[in-house]
Structure 1
Amino acid sequence: MYDAARNQIRQYLSSWVNSPDNPKFAVMIEGRWGCGKTHFIQSLVSQPDFTKRKTIYLSLFGVSSLQDFERQLFYAASSKAIKIMHQGVGFASSLFSGAISVGSGGVFSGSADIGKAVESTLGQVTKAADAINEALVIIDDLERCGFDQSELLGVLNRYIEHGNSRVILVANTQRIDDKKFEEFREKVIGQTFEIPPDPKAAVAAFIAEISESVARTLIVARTDRIEELYLLSGFNNLRAIRQFLWFLIGMLEATDQKFRENNGLIDSLITQAFIFFMEFRLNLGGPENSLAILDLLPEYGDDDPAQRSFYAFRIEKDDPDTPKRKVILKYNLINGIETAITLRQWIDILNSGTVDAKRFNAELAGAPEVNGPDSWPSWKRLWHIWSWDFSDGSATEFDSDIGDICDGIEEGRYENPLVVMYVVGVILMLLDEGLIEDVESGWVQRFKRYIDEIVIPSLDLDSFGATRWSFDSGYEGLGYAHRENDDFVEVLSHLQQAARDWYSDWKAEPVAKHLIETLKSDYFAFLGDLKIVNGKGTQRFLREPILQTIDEDDFVNAWLSLGRQEERLLTGYFEDRYDQVPELILTEGPWWHSIANRLLIKIDDEPIMPRKSQLLDLIKGIERLVDDRLEKARLKSLFSEPTCQTEIDLGWTLAPSTTAT
């Protein structure tokens, strides 16, 4: 077996099929599913001058027995057509289709002579067998056969060894587990070709299937880009490209004309559609890199319906890449994508396969490619300074942007920590290039004061989360200028330390009140602050022991104010918290015991017996939750250093804010 170029395979097959000498062996065409085997062979035999032999093409998909296969083979051979592509119609049905006729009146006609009918039928079967002996027989989907492939090869060998048939077998042999197959393969198959994927030819062929339309014109103009994306994907599934193109057509047909004329927008839309369709809808990455459509959303608790930032980052440099981050790196999108439409609409389109044209175009109006540099803040335009063409007179705009970014600092216009660090990077870059003057105390000290006076006082939990980011990569497709510069690192360190101090002050008292109020007002948001709950909470205390800061009586009163179903299930929801981070139980376990003691007091004061039983059941729930886990954690702590502190870096639990100002 060897991997040959397709034109060499064509030349070989043409010579082999039409040879006056009988080679007395079959040819195997093999390759992975979706690599284009079927398309290759069907395209080849459809050429008028390929062979004068009768061509019979059969797919074994859904064929459950050797008898079914023989019926289909004889039916195809009985057809008067020179080439027949056949799948799923049995020999018996050929009697009624007219492929095999039984007398002039038919077998059921009043004048039919049964003996003559049988004689006529046997005669046609003999003719069919003779036709097979001289035919080109192509058997596709060998691995999908419902019976032993070795039995199939035994039947075909009769026509190969004792007739003059040419037989081509098409298969993904990696999916064949018939133990006898290899033995028969050595006897029957004389030549094997592996079909390498040919994305260029496949894309061209699939596009040719699309009727003339505006969508087809847009796709044809971007054929090279689609081929490039396919090569970057690393997939060997050409069939998936056909599915993608039909998916893409629906989107492009729904796009308003004014947006179709925006080449940058269409380029971005096609890139995003390819990545999201192939990686998240078809999930072609395999079990080790499995992705679902909902994985388009940020990992931790970001349910912003206007979210357009598709990204993934590592919290620590040594952390392994997640499947989502592998996708971003695979397509060279280091800083992620600012999507043309919201991630929520992408999810809806991928799930349904349909496009709401009105909603789609309304969101395209907010795409970065539609809202160009004129709509950007000055710091973002200056970030792109190396792409400016100053021959167009834009030096005046440059000076204006320098003035605006400096005014923004003086006016305290930048509060989002992510944006502040962009401003820091841009100013340091311009200073290094001599394009801006230094300030009296130096820009580093100026930014430190800005952080203390403007950024920290405006912090809330969301913007605090942004400060915990590593800042190794940016968002909206932008990295941080001068990220490795010592001055940048010094300013960033000051920001993060000041933010940690703010968080310590915030946590000292307000956190307990916050959790109690959330428990009473939004049950699952309360749980979502402490464990992973889809679409609820921010998981900000996912790895931090925090319950012990809550007054026991306040918690019990809030707990017992819930509905009885929510009241009963509460402790069960906490099992995931302690199973994921077992050391938390060392700090929170004794607090739960205190809660149980408060419930015992409630039981003593409760006059209604059924209610006493309900409260007792809550105590049993605490015991099931805490006792075994606490004992195991304490034993483990005897043999290792404690890893759970009252102050833990929560950076990975808090998604960065994505609202740039």
Structure 2
Amino acid sequence: MVRPFDLGNLIKVIFGLDSEHTKAAPATNEALPKAAEQPTKHPSHLADYLNYYRSLSEPHYAVLVTGDWGTGKTFQVRESIPNDQAFYVSLFGLNSTEDVVAAVYAAMFPGKAFVKRIASSIGETTAEISGIGSLALNGITSGLVGALLRQQVSKEKPIIFDDLERCGLDVKQALGVINLYVEHHGCRVIVIAHDNKLTDEFSEAKEKIFGQTIRVDPRVEDAFDKFHSSLLAGPEKNFIAVQRGNIIGVFSESGIQSLRILRHVVEDLARLGKTLSEQHLANDPAMVELVRLFCALNIELRAGHLKAADLYKRKEKEFSYELGRNSENERANEQPRIVSANNKYTSVDITSTLLQDHALNEMLVEGRFDKETIQASLNASSYFIKSQSAPWQIVGSFDKLDDEIVASGLAKMEQQFDKREVSDSGEILHIFSLRMMMANKGISSKDIETVTQECIEYIDDLLSSGRLPPRGPDWDWYDDFGDSAYGVSYWVTDDYRDKFQSVFDHLLRARGKALEAEFPKRIPELLKILETDGQLFLEKICYTHKGNPEYGSIPILAAVDPKTFVAAWMRSPKQNWYWVSRALQERYKGSRVEDVLKPEAAWINAVVKLLDEEAAKATGLAKLRIHRTIPKIRQRQAESA
């Protein structure tokens, strides 16, 4: 049955525009709600103008609020006009005029689920509409719905369109739908946009719609206070509060406008603060330099002015550049990014080594705030150097310590060197690099070649006396002292880098020899494992899911007599044989036999030959068992020969 229905009633049913729900626009003489006030602050020029604009009845022009990316445009508008006093509509991701109209309607009438109201109020699929005739309601087009949405507008509060530059519509379409509410409906409309990101077409068209453009500058102090207040209570929050002036000062010096970057910096500082000890926090000058250095580098990286590689050898890059400026080929001496960045700041030296290169990379690039690494870096600085500190630490901080302290530290360091008192690789390399630096700069009476040879002899003396620690089991066993040690990078410049590298390589080889010297003591234990537990033998010499094996990258088997090895294998329980065979196959697969295990190449050939001889002496299934053990080993050896 078809029941009569007029269009006016249809609109009311669909959009819920009953008299009790319909909101009329405020009269022109009606007091408008005021934006939330900050008792201790004067209203900004933005708030002043927006309050004036809201007092107008039908201005027939819109207001454009613009500013650089991240300057807090939306925050300042919302602070001037709270959410409940405006219809906020984000244009981000809206791809059609219908999407925008629907979003405005939803903001004005958030409780109107009009699709459900259609279904529940119009039971039949057709309706008799006065003056039109029969209409199939399930065929209502999106155009009709869009037209109805366009007509239902509340002028009670201003409309605020945000993210214009991220709207999916082209400029003309977006401005066209905005103008619908400005010209046709007489709404007060405020648009937030980063107009530098919009096209020239926008610049040409905006004058027709916008009667006022207000550029927003970042309110750094207010933003900082908001970011700080959002942090969880704790010592790190107080740490940031104490350093408020330094943080804001460095941010201002950077020239960066983005408050988003400031927020990241504040949050990162909270993570940094958690790693600091009471001793560190109590040293005010150290904390000032720490915060300024961390903030400046954090800002420069986040703004894209620096790359991860720029964090390394900062002081050396600056020094090399300054030397090059005085050379004849000054034009070829391109200014490094770290120098360009450093020139922005007057309150901080971003080449400072208070935070070492690797510590900065961990925090600012990898997002890791390792307490041990950070504290080691700070403790090695002049702020925390004490008379009982390691001599190399005192000498390395010569530019910030009194001459008497440095001279005493240097004398002790030379004594340690002459008496071969230090055996730790990191400390040795620090001493070596400082001695090379002094020779290179003419501070020492010895030339760089002499100092290099003395360093090599130092290593050889430790090795011959049995005091040099053996190398570690992992393939990357020297990572802990590769480029730095104890949170401090070695004092090495390009002038003598090759000399230092030769000494470093000699140290690695010597520590390998120190391990080889221990083989005779370790082999009996390994053979015992071979005889009793084949799976454990595999885990000792091969990389598995259980982690780094004790001998995975160490050619210890080259020191085992092949006959002794095969005899122990043959004596072991037969269920062990598979695991021993598997262990050898895994150990020599790929190129490892030509790389770290190259000393074992002849050894495994000898083992295979002995197994062949054992198979030749055996008969029946015993012969087959040995043959089944050999083939893959032989095949891999043939490939690596």
TM-score normalised by L of structure 2: 0.51
Whether 2:281 is the aligned partner of 1:260: answer yes
Contact 2:378 2:384 in 1 (8 A): yes
What is aligned with 2:191? Answer: 168
Residue number in structure 2 paired with 1:462: 471
Aligned-residue offset at 1:43: 0.9
Residues 247-294 of structure 1 deviation map (CA, whole Å, 9 limit, x = unaligned): 654774797756532336656876898799999xx99989x979xxxx
The 1:257–1:285 alpha-carbon spacing in structure 2 relative to 1, beyond 3 Å, is: same
Shift of 1:376: 0.7
Name the aligned partner's letter for residue 161 of structure 2. I
Aligned-residue sequence identity (percent) comes to 14
Are residue 55 (structure 1) and residue 55 (structure 2) matched?
no
Instruction: Tell me which of the two structures has the higher relative contact order, counting C-alpha pairs closer than 8 angstroms and 6 or more residues apart.
Output: 1
1:140 maps to which residue? 163
Q: What does the per-residue CA deviation read over 1:438-487, in whole Å, with 9 as the maximum and x for residues that have no partner?
A: 9xxx9888767655434664334439999999x9975446566686788x
Partner in structure 2 of residue 242 of structure 1 = 263
Q: Is the 8 A contact 1:383 1:426 kept in 2?
A: yes
CA 1:215–1:447: 2 relative to 1, 3 Å? closer
Structure-1 residue corresponding to 2:334: none
Distance 1:570 1:268, change over 3 A: farther
Aligned mate of 2:228, from 191, 207, 211: 207
**SS class of match (1:419):** helix
Question: 1:220 is aligned with what amino acid?
Answer: A
Per-residue deviation, 1:416 = 3.6
Give unpaired runs (5+ residues) of structure 2. Answer: 1-43, 122-147, 317-336, 342-349, 531-535
State the AA in 1 paired with 2:89.
L
**Cα distance change on mapping 1:271 and 1:56 into 2, 3 Å:** same
Structure 1 residues 289-342: Cα deviation after superposition (integer angstroms, max 9, x where no partner)? 79xxxxx9xxxxxxxxxxxx999x9xxxxxxxxxxxx9999964679739999x
Which residue does the alignment assign to 2:145? none
CA pair 473-199 structure 1, distance change in 2 beyond 3 A: farther
AA aligned to 2:79 is S
Partner residue in 2 for 1:384: 397
Distance 1:62 1:557 in 2: 74
Distance in 2, matches of 1:234 and 1:626, equals 64
For residues 606-634 of structure 1, give each alpha carbon's deviation from its aligned partner in whole angstroms, at most 9, with x where no partner exists. 889799689748745875x677x76xxx9
Question: Are 2:235 and 2:274, in contact at CA under 8 Å, matched by a contact in 1?
Answer: yes
Unaligned 5+ runs, structure 1: 1-7, 79-88, 97-106, 108-123, 175-180, 291-295, 297-308, 314-325, 635-661
**How many residues matched?**
516
Q: Aligned-pair distance for 1:168?
A: 2.0
Matched, 1:131 2:141: no
**Which deviations, in whole Å up to 9, do the C-alpha atoms of 1:413-441 show, x marking residues without a partner?**
12345534544565687899999999xxx
Alignment match, 1:647: none
1:63 positional shift? 8.0
- Whether contact under 8 Å (1:415, 1:455) holds in the other structure is no
User: What is the CA-CA distance between 1:513 and the residue it aligns to?
Assistant: 9.4
1:240–1:278 CA contact under 8 A, matched in 2? yes
- The one-letter code sitting in structure 2 at the alignment partner of 1:453 is D
| CA RMSD, Structure 1 to Structure 2 (Å) | 7.5
How far apart, CA to CA, are the structure 1 residues paired with 2:299 and 2:617?
62
Partner of 1:76: 107
Distance 2:267 2:386 in 1: 33
Alignment match, 1:373: 386
Deviation at 1:56, TM superposition (A): 2.2
Whole-Å Cα distance in 1 between the matches of residues 419 and 517 of structure 2? Answer: 32
Contact 2:541 2:552 in 1 (8 A): no
In structure 2, do the counterparts of structure 1 residues 271 and 446 end up closer, same or farther at CA, with 3 Å as the change threshold?
Answer: same
Structure 1 pair 226–585 and aligned structure 2 pair: CA distance change class (3 A): same
Greater shift, 225-234 or 244-253, is seen at 225-234
TM-score by length of 1: 0.50
Bigger radius of gyration, 1 or 2?
2
SS in 2 for 1:459: coil
Taking a change above 3 Å as real, the CA distance of residues 437 and 242 of structure 1, as seen in their structure-2 partners, is closer
Structure 1's 232 and 524: CA in aligned 2 closer, same or farther, altered over 3 A?
A: farther
CA distance in structure 2 between the partners assigned to 1:585 and 1:407 by the alignment = 39
CA distance in 2, matches of 1:611, 1:196: 87
Instruction: State the secondary structure of the residue aligned to 2:420.
Output: coil
**Contact 2:359/2:487 (CA < 8 Å) preserved in 1?**
no
User: Which residue of structure 2 lines up, in the alignment, with residue 46 of structure 1?
Assistant: 79
Q: How many Å apart are 1:372 and its aligned residue? A: 3.2
1:378-397 per-position Cα deviation (integer Å, ceiling 9, x unaligned): 3432333343346xxxx4x5
> Equivalent residue for 1:178?
none
Q: CA 1:477–1:509 in 2, change beyond 3 Å: closer, same or farther? A: closer
